[in-house]
Amino acid sequence: QGGNNAGHTVVVDGKEYDFHLFPSGIINPKAISFIVLILFDRNYVQTVQEMSVRSSLKDWEKRLIISDRAHIVFDFHQAVDGLQEVQRQAQEGKNIGTTKKGIGPTYSSKAARTGLRICDLLSDFDEFSSRFKNLAQQYKSMFPTLEIDIEGQLKKLKGYAEKIRPMVRDGVYFMYEALHGSPKKILVEGANAALLDIDFGTYPFVTSSNCTVGGVCTGLGVPPQHVGDVYGVVKAYTTRVGIGAFPTEQINEIGDLLQSRGHEWGVTTGRKRRCGWLDLVILKYAHMINGFTALALTKLDILDVLDEIKIGVAYKLGGKRIPYFP
């Protein structure tokens, strides 16, 4: 699991959980959960502690491991995410529709080699503080209206460091032991969808990570030969949060019905999801990239009240049917 930009509603024994940072497996008392990619700093410890009280999760901190290589999303990353959306709207008349959780700016810092990781936070705090101040100043120079309480942030971060220290492990060695020690079942949970992949999604209306199957190798440091079954999860209709191309979208009573019957709200943003008929072209495209060994088809019952359902079967470009996703 990674950033809190994605939400997962999980129902177990009739009890509903809304997760953002926690891997869904945290509910299972026999499972060890592992956060590997992006860790969110804003009131992180308080948030998860409140969450455990609210959802009566017992001993979650004993079952949660955080990779030392996970990048940290700072408060100013989140603020910049919002400012960038305002800029896009002003300059282009449209934005990307991010969740404004700071994920894009954090990945930008990561790619620019100015990002800070959990291992930095837990080692030399003076060195961490110096790099944090440099990164904050970089963003302040790019966004003059940005206000950052540098000393206040560092004080909070020092507190977080001690609270999460017992959970942090060398992520690569942890996975190596899991793969080569006594036999285990390893389930990798993908946040976001294939069409939100930074390289293979509907760019630029995508997230910042590889949320296709390749992310298993790049995110966890797992060699490709260890990837076994790949389960594609697909609704019996198509949904999308935010803007971007959506050929089978139904901006009518059908779309409204799918939205209301399917409870299609973004877990993170509360935004209504756009709804339309199942699009087999993007499903086949997702299969081309991921090589599904099985599909889990969900929400079929939402269509129960319809006498007739439609399915998108092909795309035309310039009047001709095309065999690929353009």
Nearest CA among 192, 189, 195, 206 for reference residue 266: 192
Q: Exposed/middle/buried for 103, CB within 10 Å: 0-12, 13-18, 19+?
A: buried
Beta-bridge mates of residue 9? 18
CB-side exposure of 3: number of CA atoms within 13 Å?
26
Q: What distance in Å separates the CA atoms of residue 9 and residue 16, rounded to the nearest whole number?
A: 7
Look up 110 and say whether it is catalytic: yes
Q: What distance in Å separates the CA atoms of residue 190 and residue 207, rounded to the nearest whole number?
A: 13
Q: What distance in Å separates the CA atoms of residue 323 and residue 319, rounded to the nearest whole number?
A: 13
3-state class of 295 per DSSP?
strand
Of the candidates 110, 133, 272, 299, the residue annotated as catalytic is 110
Which residues are tagged catalytic? 110
